[in-house]
Amino acid sequence: MDAVPLASGRDADVFAIDDRRVLRRYRHGGDVAAEAAVMAYVAGLGFPVPTVFQARGVDLVMERLDGRTMLSALLAGELDAAEAATCLVDLHRRLHALPSRLGAGDARVLHLDLHPDNVMLTSRGPVVIDWRNSTEGPAELDVALSAVILAQVAVGENHHLASPAATLLAAFLDRVGGDPLTELDRALAIRRDDPALTGGERELLGAAAALIVGHRRGREKTSTLGV
């Protein structure tokens, strides 16, 4: 299969096969069957994901999407923090409204890596990519992990995206329902165990958690006071 390199992430490379297909290949092993099964399930219920054409070993052949990532659109000034937050919240709500694929009680399908670089803004609307971490559980866990990912960037003193990440995090937490604090400790543990994180990124988790808690508590106090 002839393929042209398109992009590289922390654990996978993406190649263009032709004008309608891409190959996503994981560099460190694993089996994409479970990821493909979740994508097929949510797609069948109307949730926006790339079409999967083939899944074998470490390779996923998928629909080639047009448009750019939400992160790129934010950096280019084509999208503001409020619009991005509203989109992320809507994607969480739509995903968590779906019935469990595994039939595990009140559990919901979780993406566990839903952030602006994993949302493509296409001609058919936002499309969520990179489902390798997907599982099932409480919706608040998915929301908490998205908040942690944003907060890690926001508290990075030397990170060039710290300020926009902080603005987006605040807008996200202001709009999202439920109480992500109930699953914050579990989200932090999942993030801490992510083999793709550097030691420096792990060191930011405490400050990231404090930022999330501080914002939610401040919002609750303001709401209680009727401000």
Compute the distance between CA of residue 65 and CA of residue 63 in angstroms, rounded to an integer.
6
Residues of the chain with CATH 3.30.200.20: 4-63
Q: Please state at what angle helix 139-154 crosses helix 184-192, rounded to 10 degrees.
A: 60
Q: Which amino acid is residue 90, in one-letter code?
A: D
Do the Cβ atoms of 36 and 46 come closer than 8 Å?
no
Instruction: Note if the pTM is more than 0.75.
Output: yes
- Residue by residue, pLDDT tens for the chain (227 residues) are 567 888 888 888 999 999 999 999 998 888 999 999 999 999 999 999 999 999 999 999 999 999 999 999 999 999 999 999 999 999 999 999 999 998 777 899 999 999 999 999 999 999 999 999 999 999 999 999 999 999 999 999 888 999 999 999 999 999 998 899 999 999 999 999 998 899 999 999 999 999 999 998 776 666 555 54
The pLDDT, as a whole number, for residue 226 is: 58
Per-residue model confidence (pLDDT) at position 94: 98
Q: CA–CA separation, 103 vs 197, rounded Å?
A: 32
Helix crossing, 205-225 with 139-154: angle to 10°?
A: 110
Q: Residue type for 156, please?
A: G
pLDDT at 151: 98
Q: Strands 119-122 and 68-69, how do they pair?
A: antiparallel
Q: What is the pLDDT of residue 198?
A: 92
- 4-63: what fold? Phosphorylase Kinase; domain 1 (3.30.200)
